[in-house]
Amino acid sequence: MLTDLFTPSVQHWLDIAGIFVFAISGALLGVRKNFDVFGMAVLAEVTALGGGLFRDLVIGAVPPAAFTDLGYFLTPLLATLIVFFLHPEVERITTAVNAFDAAGLGLFCVTGTVKAYGHGLGLTQSATLGLATAVGGGVLRDVLANEVPSLLRWDRDLYAVPAMAGAAVAALMLRQGALHGPTNAVPVLVGCGLRLLAMRYHWRAPRAWHRRSAATEEKLETARE
């Protein structure tokens, strides 16, 4: 398991780092939507902890880690304060924030898969919960902000697919008994690496086959009128 690669202390701080970066993205969306500080904090908490809460409730790991470790709960509040006072500066380092976000995505999709498997779920179900752990908070964030979730939009770089790939690799390695020691880094790097490549080259999922563009449809509607 991942604890073979990282000590519990290191694993804890990696989780905190991932939570912090996810919370930054939630608080920044609150700024863009002109929310007050409470709204920013809600988005930060939901983005950072939503996926893990969903996973823990599904597998019966209650109370969820977010409610037993004060650091998990307070970290998004710290991120909110930073964004509240320094959001112009944070916006300017978006590239760095996105890179750390990709690292958090890769880590959480794997830890979610491993934790679900450790609670007796099958490989497919475990990988699904790994995906939910990584992207669930972002979905809840967008829904609360009245936005179409980013992972459902064709005009956004791939996000769910890298997490799905990392979770699937982790599940396959669990099945083969190969997820131990240094090999734990493999699925993390798969998820993180694919996300970084998607941002670098703007990879996007295809839309419906032979779907006409919106511009073409508008021209046809105008011609009919």
What confidence tens digit (pLDDT) does each residue in 6-31 have? 567 777 888 898 899 999 999 999 99
pLDDT on residue 154? 87
Cis peptide before 63 (omega within 30 of 0): yes
Chain centroid to CA 111: how far? 12
Whether residue 119 contacts residue 59, with contact meaning beta carbons closer than 8 Å, is answered with yes
Q: What is the pTM of this model?
A: 0.88
The two tokens of residue 116 are: 């679900």
pLDDT digits (tens, 9 = 90+) for 91-106: 899 888 899 999 999 9
Q: Which structure tokens are listed for 22? A: 């996810």
For the stretch 26-74, pLDDT in tens is: 999 999 999 999 999 999 999 999 999 999 999 999 999 889 999 999 9
Burial class of residue 11, CB neighbours in 10 A (0-12, 13-18, 19+)? middle
pLDDT, tens digit, 9 for 90 and up, residues 141-165: 999 999 999 889 988 999 999 999 9
pLDDT for 220 equals 44
Res 107: pLDDT? 92
What is the Cα–Cα distance from 144 to 181, expressed in whole angstroms?
39
Averaged confidence pLDDT in the chain: 90
pLDDT, tens digit, 9 for 90 and up, residues 174-225: 999 998 878 889 999 999 999 999 999 999 988 888 776 555 444 545 555 5
Q: Confirm if 24 and 85 have CB atoms less than 8 A apart.
A: no
Domain boundaries, the chain: 2-206
